[in-house]
Amino acid sequence: MKTKNILILLFSSLFLLSCVSTIPQRNGIILPVPVPAPIAAAARLHAVILADIDDNKIGESTKVDFNHIKKLVKNIAINTGMKLAGYELTGNSLTNNNIRKIINNLAVRRNDAVIFYYAGHGKNPQTGTQWPSMILKDQNLEFNFVISKLKKKNPRFFLAIVDACNDFPNYRGDPRTDQTSFLDLSSLKRQNYQNLFLRTRGYVVASGAKPGQLSWSDSKYGGLFTNQFLNSLKGQLVSRQANWNTVMKQATTTIKLPKNVIQQPQYEVDIK
């Protein structure tokens, strides 16, 4: 009986020692067991969509742009799984102060994406920049402000577009052109949405015209540059492998208008 009890105590001691030996220690001090990091929260898609839809000259065209970009943003969110956080300004709410508030208050995390889009009047600020200023209800705002702020917030990816004039005249005309209508983006390849908007790091910046030029629009198709951008994007979304450089090269093809007028969109791509 004594021998049995001794054997039980011996095996119990060995079992306890084997358990203790699995606890991490340093210099005889028991260390806390590391807890696996929680799964990262889903990335957000911050979409800031601005359009001067009440203007008596360009309101009809900017309304078309506004609706097209809203639809695009929803399709991006659906096809990438990013959680959409949308901000929209139109009419009298389209002010310098309101735009600054939205941009400054964007709570951007490292894996988030941001889309900024403006359709309305613009002009070149003549500060040496290639980018236009947005002509707003209270005070003009340079596109450079938006670009600079988004870079500082350091999202994984951002796309910023201003479809506006880049000269002194505050007019986006309504010419008759051979532009094709914007095509539906909802049924395109999910993988290409993800390649462009979910797996890309860097930024894409563009405007409808180079310095000294007007950015034209059509009441049926919207801004000619916006229309050309969306159709170029559609082409990449059905391609074998979507690429931002190809999207923007095609999107910024020279737009030829009646009476030998041309509009040359511009862009900058920095993809890591």
What is the arithmetic mean of pLDDT over 185-204?
A: 88
Contact 147, 159 (CB under 8 A): no
Give tens-digit pLDDT for 45-94: 999 999 999 999 999 999 999 999 999 999 999 999 999 999 999 999 99
- pLDDT for 83 equals 97
- What is the topology classification, in CATH, of domain 44-271? Rossmann fold (3.40.50)
Share of the chain above pLDDT 70, in %: 77
- pLDDT for 50 equals 98
Q: b or e along 92-127 (b: 16 or more beta carbons within 10 Å of the residue's beta carbon)? A: eebebebbeebbeebebeebbbbbbbbbbbbbbbee
What is the rounded distance in angstroms from the CA atom of residue 77 to the CA atom of residue 60?
27
What is the arithmetic mean of pLDDT over 212-221?
A: 93
Q: Between these two residues, 35 and 55, which has the higher pLDDT value?
A: 55
Q: Between these two residues, 200 and 171, which has the higher pLDDT value?
A: 200
Residue 18 has pLDDT above 70, yes or no: no
Residue 24 has pLDDT above 50, yes or no: no
Give tens-digit pLDDT for 133-190: 999 989 999 999 999 999 999 999 999 999 999 996 444 444 444 455 555 555 568 9
Residue 104 has pLDDT above 80, yes or no: yes
Contact 219, 181 (CB under 8 A): no
Residue 38 has pLDDT above 90, yes or no: no
Domain ranges of the chain: 44-271
What is the rounded distance in angstroms from the CA atom of residue 167 to the CA atom of residue 144?
16
| Backbone Cα Rg of the chain | 27
What is the arithmetic mean of pLDDT over 90-115?
A: 97
What confidence tier does 21 reach under pLDDT thresholds 50, 70, 90? very low
How much is the mean pLDDT over the chain? Answer: 84
Burial of 220 (C-beta count, 10 Å sphere; 0-12/13-18/19+): middle
**Segment among 3-7, 162-166, 191-195 with least mean pLDDT:** 3-7
**Segment among 19-23, 86-90, 194-198, 227-231 with least mean pLDDT:** 19-23
Q: Between these two residues, 165 and 26, which has the higher pLDDT value?
A: 165
Q: Who contacts 124 (Cβ-Cβ below 8 Å, separation ≥6)? A: 132, 133, 166, 167, 168, 211, 212
- pLDDT for 76 equals 96
The conformation of residue 228, written as its DSSP 8-state character, comes to H
